[in-house]
Structure 1
């Protein structure tokens, strides 16, 4: 009896095995991260809002000597009429208010940023800021500062 050589069977088994490995992936599922972003961008954690001469004054600290140089902060704003009452757990729809360049964040000394925003009476305003580095990558959102203007 003649023995039949079957290299195609071995090749088929290897091909099927590779297809199974590729289709299952590594199993690690998460939101995508920019490959160039190795060090997280610093973010403000002390955003405060208060009334000053009929306007909202926003103040926060630029982190001293961050590992990644910040180029600007983007300020976001959301509002709700006081007549609507309090809505715990309702999502806030933030819109971009303005962008502000960072004067110096690598000096080793914390820098205070200050922004004024005109407001109307009868609303509750919510603000947050996001740091953007020199490569255009954004950091985490700051804390949300709330300001009621009766």
Structure 2
């Protein structure tokens, strides 16, 4: 199962759900930006241990300029996402914040088609529309 993308995607969803629940409880009495900082330090420590245990450290000189650019942009987007997410959790209910955050699924579909040349069938677009509608309905008060 470890070689199956669905396995890892489902685990990602489980951990994303736990992120919302743990984050909502953890941000109580803590500034949203400082909570994001603590989360980031924990992630860096965990990845350091994983890379060391698996002996997967790589030389930085072997990374192309294009990869550097897009990894840096991805890191900046991740940081901005986390900052916004924790501010939203500080202000709103986890059960309403998380679905709106998951509108990223809809945006990935649109951006994938627009910028990466990916193709979605009519059924796929129907699913994207349902995800969008579902996220809004869950967040609706």
Is the pair's TM-score, using the shorter chain for normalization, greater than 0.5?
no
TM-score normalised by L of structure 2: 0.22
Q: Which has the larger radius of gyration?
A: 1
TM-score normalised according to structure 1 size: 0.21
